[in-house]
Structure 1
Amino acid sequence: MGIMPKFKNVEVLKELQKGYRTIENGIIRILQRAGEQFVIDARDGMKISPSAFPKGDYENQTANLRSSVGYFVLKDGIIIDNMIEGTAEGIAAGRALLGTIPNKTGYQLIGVAGMDYASHVESKGYNVITSQADVALVNINRLLNKFKDRMNKKGAHVDFDMDNLVLTTTR
């Protein structure tokens, strides 16, 4: 007389897939939330230390630069969520910049300021997305650690590679 399971392998697989989807959905929500805040802060010209960016906020003469600010959440190189709104030229520039970023395996949050003069504006002492990128990294780290603790309390072992999670760039 041996031990006989009262479950089927299919049932175990179904539960594992359910757990995987819970973790995946949590990661995606965290990246969406950080991306949305990144865009809001960049468009509102988040006030930061005058010593870091002594000139303060830049003029938004054409609205193209702020329109080119957006985020993309990718899984294995495929866009699963994004937010980029405004002028047609700004949106096109933000989307075009995404095409220059190498695809990676796993999840990515990519924040962009796609107009070709974004880095020039920053080099003049104005903030376009640099400080927002730093804030997004801190927020993601905090939210992922909180999520990891919550999942680990439920019995799932979850860990993250923060070195490859976020890439933020300007043209």
Structure 2
Amino acid sequence: MGKKLFRIYIAVSLDGFIARTNGAVDWLDQYDPAEFGFDDFLDSVGTLIIGRNTFDQVMEFGDWPYEARRTIVLTSRDLPEDRPANIEPYGGSIIELVDQLRDSRNGDGDIWVVGGGSVVTQFLFGGFADQLDIFTVPEVLGDGISLFGRDAGGIKPRLLASERYNSGVVRSQYGLHDI
């Protein structure tokens, strides 16, 4: 088995936001994730890392959509008792988590750093993410939660591929390390 990659796979508005100021992503509803190869991507993933606010938002959608995959929620608070068995809280060091997951022989597939913004920032600018797939959506929100925070800087992604879809969405895939 090859090295497990920490992958950020995320949609962003044309003006750089991943969600509205209240966390809503309703502006993405008109786009079909299947057009962008989401199912193939998900098939390559064995573990998800997700921030608490994003986790709570996904839980509001109804059934947990990632039942078959280990999900690690970065949180200092207790998770709901009725959560699926594959969802676990984690309140420790990101460095230790990355080391554990890279060294783990359990579970197949890459690790998807789902979000939200602060989680993506920690992995990206902490040097833990290996690959970044940004789907730039032709929508201008004007305000919201930025993909890159104010203190962003210091990384030099290497463009691996770029693709335009019929909907006007553009996928830019970047390598962040020699992998």
Q: Does TM, scored on the shorter chain, surpass 0.5?
A: no
Higher strand share: 2
Q: Which has the higher contact order (CA 8 A, sep 6+)?
A: 2
TM-score (norm 1): 0.26
Q: Which has the larger radius of gyration?
A: 1
